[in-house]
Structure 1
């Protein structure tokens, strides 16, 4: 519900029913997610063993792409490192390839300083960007243990920040931070990962602030900023000065109301960022397996890359029927 205008009578509003128009293609895409050849590509097999650099010391037996492939397999199929090792060995055996497979300790050790290749696509035309964040559990007592034995328990969380393309559903950029880092502070790092031009940036009211508008203007002066001002916001200038984008939002809200402003600027696009968050938690998981922050960052980046692979295979096209 936009701005929770119907929150009090929400229970009386029937849930909208939708029908998937491209079910045949989407059904085939869901089956292809389990195709192992999607995850172990020819590029990874060609770069399996890194070239000799000529430096002193023992050369690496496995390239970074091998560790990244194993990490993506682990997250896509929800298996621990030992079972991921066995899965990868069986794939190579079925392919008839005599390539060595890293053991689970090598996977765990090499994933600490792994730099995951970004899963973002290179944009040639201006893209609309939706930014949002969510929490991922690391460790601590679960809900059952807290209800059974009482006590708050020790819980640790990380914040996953995503920049999503609402048209394709792909994740354009991602950042994993601690809970102490604010949402607005990650606008710059997220936009820096997007190589192409930006048409608009949409986010919720937590990102409202002059610093966010300034960062977006420095990144792409032509980009539209669609962020709802706070209820206590006031115009920044006088009637004689040129109104800022935030002032124009305030003026439109005063003329049309909050709901009319949302419809006029297509603020409903922001919900697609929440859909991407839900997709990550449903497919990849609601918690992180790694214990240290650098390894957790590599895990989250690999999860976003695996999710983009699934997205490119096919997405449902829904049509509202009621």
Structure 2
């Protein structure tokens, strides 16, 4: 296996060092380089903090900035950040209005963020948590109890981050995040597993005529292994379940997000976006907002996920609000 790295055990540390230096107008390291945070914190604003294992770049550190996260706690590859690491971010970013934690529904993430929240509350911080569980393919799958949190996490972070920037209270942000999770559904498909640096092996192997339906973002194999199909057929498989699971938007407006897992060319992501959009519009949905690109990756996995999120006027306004983070920028 060839990778641009020195030692596998240093890949996350050295990658984060380069990332922060490349974006040092926006970002800085938190206490002891244990988290990545906004260089300029906004006094009196609710702090929004998320995180998880490395390997999903640019999520989460790339989503730190104006209108999104105040800090991201990054663990080793596919490994949750520690409670003390999260606690440090809370202590550093809480400027008086409390902290909202956005947590993907994986057992390690939930446990460690819960422990950090308990310690922070004992230290006098006001804490609320939103658990993201948008993956319709997983019920009690490996690494999670119930549905996993996947690409829909970005939509929650953008929506809540914009509301926090606008001065909404901790309780209002908790309610908004919960509504956004309830309105969001995702499903992933892969043509090749992820290659983990420390093992130099793919997380799962596929034959030349196979694909995995319902994969997670930690290299987990899918819910089922099926025969490879063309793009329109794959889009139909994914969309049928997503549309069935999606809460009916009041006026049919949705956000359509096609997310690459790290090893899929942009041209193929846009091809799939076109295929999915034709299908959802044929079902009477209105694609009011779109996002296409590799934002929530799984190292170098060849695959993608499709996320549909029902929009109301508030959530669409928060999505449109200015954002200035390394991986997402508009209106600034």
Q: TM-score, normalised on structure 1?
A: 0.28
Higher relative contact order (CA 8 A, sep 6+): 1
Report which of the two has the higher share of helix.
1
Structure with the greater alpha carbon radius of gyration: 1
Q: TM-score, normalised on structure 2?
A: 0.28
